[in-house]
Amino acid sequence: MDKHGQNTSGDQRRDHWAQLDAFLQTDPRDAGCDTTMEMLDVYAELVAEGEDPLERFPGLHAHFSACGPCAQDLEGLLAALADEIVSGPGSPPEPA
């Protein structure tokens, strides 16, 4: 870094190599964010029902393993589904 806190060209090259390396390590089955978001509800419902979605959706499973934001969306949906199971569908949310 220079005295202004900006990356020097050497740091930028290392960042590019690190990004390329991460890309090359991507599981070829990874379905990507768009497809994963389209199928998120189906995948989450299978998990909530105790099913193993890995066999039916290996590409989604690979993506959730690699993509933090999509994995967080799945966790949030699973939490919402668990709350719905406990309180029943259509029940008003409990006050915090």
Largest CA distance in the chain: 59
Whole-number mean pLDDT of the chain? Answer: 82
Nearest Cα residue to 89 out of 40, 48, 55:
48
pLDDT digits (tens, 9 = 90+) for 13-55: 778 888 777 766 778 899 999 999 999 999 999 999 999 999 9
**Chain-centre distance for alpha carbon 41:** 13
Contact (CB, 8 A) for 36 and 26: no
Question: Which among 20, 16, 27 is positioned nearest to 60, based on CA atoms?
Answer: 27
Is residue 64 a contact partner of residue 36, using CB atoms and an 8 Å limit? yes
If DSSP codes are grouped into helix, strand and coil, which group holds residue 89? coil
pLDDT at 1: 45
The pTM for the full model equals 0.65
